[in-house]
Amino acid sequence: MSAEPRIVHEDEWLAVVEKPACLVVHSAPGHRGETLVDALGDLLGGGDDPQRPGIVHRLDKDTSGLMLVARGEEAHRRLAAQIKAREVRRTYVALVEGRPRSRAGTIDAPLGRDYRAPARRAVGGRGPRAARTHFMVLETLPADALVEARLETGRTHQIRAHFAAIGHPLAGDPQYGHPGRHGLTRQFLHSARLGFTHPFTDDEMEFSSALPDDLAQALEVARAG
């Protein structure tokens, strides 16, 4: 059974939760087992899809970290509008194979379904949609680089597919890179910071999440070379 999500912030309108790895956000065809929606239960509310109440954005199953969820219809509507307007600040920490040529940059490349593997996303794939990822190298390691990635758009597998496209897949990524790198059992990707304007109080909200143990241990292995 997956670890339980942790509630970082909760008020009458919304919540910020820390999702563990190996937990799917909501039910989908072919999935069996508990989801984040199941674990949070009555905390969630709002939206047109009964399979994903309160969900305004998502993380991949094996991506850990911070998520913003709604607790009612009006909160869902306002938060979804902020996501669509790209007003929610979502920053991730990732370990990528190799060293990017620049210390900072933007990967601006539309993503669609990979023609050969529909579960993957690829630059120029089927039905491409605009996708932009801003990144900054935090630390260079013997064979990898620790990077901060900020989403401007939020496409499926965006960070994973974008870094793979420039030749630097995420360490341990079973779909886009090399599984098992540095002892990882998943991709090294963590939703580390989340910022937004509260849709009801107008307060500026900022939250951060430390690397979970498995990623912290992999980072130490990568640093040792």
pLDDT tens string 96-112: 999 999 999 999 999 99
CB count in 10 Å sphere of residue 206: 10
Q: Identify the CA nearest to 193 among candidates 9, 62, 66.
A: 66
Instruction: Determine the pLDDT at residue 61.
Output: 94
DSSP secondary structure code for residue 19 in this structure: E
Residue 86 has pLDDT above 50, yes or no: yes
**Average pLDDT, whole number, for the chain?**
94
Which of the residue ranges 2-6, 47-51, 159-163 has the most confident prediction, judged by mean pLDDT?
159-163
Residue 183 has pLDDT above 90, yes or no: yes
The average pLDDT across 143-149 equals: 98
- Helix/strand/coil for 21: coil
CA distance 207 to 80: 19
Residue 33 has pLDDT above 80, yes or no: no
CA distance 182 to 90: 26
CA distance 225 to 141: 7
Residue 1 has pLDDT above 60, yes or no: no
CA 34 to chain centre: 19
Contact (CB, 8 A) for 44 and 94: no
- Known active-site residue 203: no
Instruction: Determine the pLDDT at residue 77.
Output: 98
Q: Mind listing the domains of the chain with CATH numbers? A: 1-85 (3.30.2350.10), 89-194+210-225 (3.30.2350.10)
The average pLDDT across 209-223 equals: 98
Six token digits for residue 210: 């430390």
Contact (CB, 8 A) for 8 and 17: yes
Parallel, antiparallel, or unpaired: how do β-strands 111-113 and 104-108 relate? unpaired
The average pLDDT across 88-102 equals: 97
Q: Which of 11, 42, 49, 60 is catalytic?
A: 60
**Range of weakest confidence among 46-55, 63-72, 74-83:** 46-55
Single-letter amino acid, residue 155: R
Instruction: Determine the pLDDT at residue 28.
Output: 63
Q: Identify the CA nearest to 200 among candidates 48, 67, 74.
A: 74
Contact (CB, 8 A) for 43 and 78: no
Instruction: Determine the pLDDT at residue 124.
Output: 87
pTM of the model: 0.93
DSSP-based helix, strand, coil % in the chain, nearest 5:
20, 35, 45
Output the DSSP codes for 139-167: EE-SSEEEEEEEESS--TTHHHHHHHHTT
Match 């920490």 to its residue by tokens. Answer: 93
Instruction: Determine the pLDDT at residue 79.
Output: 98
The average pLDDT across 134-144 equals: 98
